[in-house]
Amino acid sequence: MSQIDWDSLGFDAYRTRTVVLSRFQNGQWSPAETTETFSFTLDPFAQVFHYAISCFEGLKAFTQKDGRIVIFRPDENAARMQRTARYLGMPEPPADLFIRMCELCVKNNLEFLPPYGHGASMYLRPLLMGVHPQMQLVPYPEAVLAVMCAPAGSYYGAHLKSSSAVIPGDYDRAAPKGSGSYKVGANYAATFKPYKIAHDQGYTELLYLNSGTREFVDEFGSSNFFGIKGNKYVTPLSDSVLPSITNKSLQQVAADLGMEVEKRPIPVEELAEFDEAGACGTAVVITPMSHIDLKPVLAGEEVACTWRFVPDGSVGPVCTKLYRQITGIQFGELEDVHGWCHEVR
């Protein structure tokens, strides 16, 4: 393996040593096993290929300041994968199996775990796939849970770097009463085309409104939305956004720092009232937005509205404080008062 430059890691698919696998068949999960070839085989008729019967999770392992290796809140990801599996009619991986497989993935790929001091971590990607060969549109109790990992730096090219987003007037993320709050792969498929158009225009992110009435802020394609108004941390209450574990943690961190936390519908016009706004999630951590544009037609010329938060290139004081606090806990520089860091032994 060539030497990894821990300081210039982005967020990429990475060929590490091992993937950890368990198969659900005949009502049972098989003991977790590791591949040595970084590959596995599925039937071409497997449901996952044809009908997108798949869901995934994203969580991170850190080398802390004192050398301990921890995974951030894996119990939350286990519970969220179970919830998504129920939605898809798939077998739910037990939480202890899920966590054990994440630990095994870290331990069997240790040479890819960034050491402390580079701001980098190991991203863990558990993937649950319907593998039964089948044409009928009915759930089937057979699945593979695969946990893979990649050394990860910053999602957008630099830590805590301000970015811009566009609200696409002609694309929705998920249907009302649809799959928006579940981590199904299909939700992401629908974002590829608008992301390409947005990136070609220089935007980093897509900010979706609630589909249907398009009155309220929902979330970014990759992450949750939060806004800062004076001493308030405000984040959308919506049944079609993913319940982000980072956002849940930041709400607690904000409250710990003496801020008021509001989780409620955010009318799109309220964007004008925020001092700071940003994206939060495992991959993006906290990514502050310098401005957000609303374009009636994403590929068109017209910008119907622009909301500015901080000058391009700068980062507001509250985003900075929240970022330092959450990453401080993850890297073991601040006390983990809520017991969020799960040690890998």
* Part of the chain binding ligand PLP (CB under 6 A), chosen from 129-137, 156-164, 237-245, 315-323: 237-245
Q: Does 154 bind ligand PLP (CB under 6 A)?
A: no
In angstroms, how far is the first alpha carbon of the chain from the final one? 24
* Part of the chain binding ligand COI (CB under 6 A), chosen from 159-167, 260-268, 278-286, 335-343: 278-286
**Is 193 in the active site?**
no
CB of residue 30 vs ligand PLP: minimum separation in angstroms? 27
Q: Tokens 């069997």 correspond to what residue?
A: 108
With beta carbons less than 8 A apart as the criterion, state whether 230 and 224 touch.
Answer: no
For residue 289 the two structure tokens come to 């937005």
* Cα–Cα dist 126/104, whole Å: 12
CB of residue 301 vs ligand COI: minimum separation in angstroms? 28
With beta carbons less than 8 A apart as the criterion, state whether 119 and 98 touch.
Answer: no
CB of residue 221 vs ligand COI: minimum separation in angstroms? 7
For residue 243 the two structure tokens come to 């319940």
Q: Does 283 bind ligand COI (CB under 6 A)?
A: yes
Q: Does 180 bind ligand COI (CB under 6 A)?
A: no
Q: DSSP letter string over 219-233?
A: EESSSEEEEEETTEE
Which residues between 183 and 222 bind ligand PLP (CB under 6 A)?
Answer: 219, 222
Nearer to ligand PLP, 232 or 248 (CB): 248
Q: Does 235 bind ligand PLP (CB under 6 A)?
A: no
For residue 77 the two structure tokens come to 């990801």
Nearest Cα to Cα of residue 208 among 279, 299, 301: 279
Which does residue 63 bind out of ligand COI, ligand PLP, none, counting CB within 5 to 8 angstroms by kind?
Answer: none
Q: Which of 194, 278, 281, 316 binds ligand COI (CB under 6 A)?
A: 281
Binding residue count for ligand COI, defined by CB under 6 A: 5
- What's the residue count for the chain? 345
Q: Does 224 bind ligand PLP (CB under 6 A)?
A: yes
* Cα–Cα dist 134/84, whole Å: 21
With beta carbons less than 8 A apart as the criterion, state whether 288 and 316 touch.
Answer: yes
Q: Does 223 bind ligand PLP (CB under 6 A)?
A: yes
* Cα–Cα dist 194/20, whole Å: 33
Nearer to ligand PLP, 17 or 161 (CB): 161
Q: Which of 22, 84, 134, 282 binds ligand PLP (CB under 6 A)?
A: 282
Q: Which of the residues are catalytic? A: 183
Q: Which residues contact ligand COI (rule: CB under 6 A)? A: 58, 222, 281-283
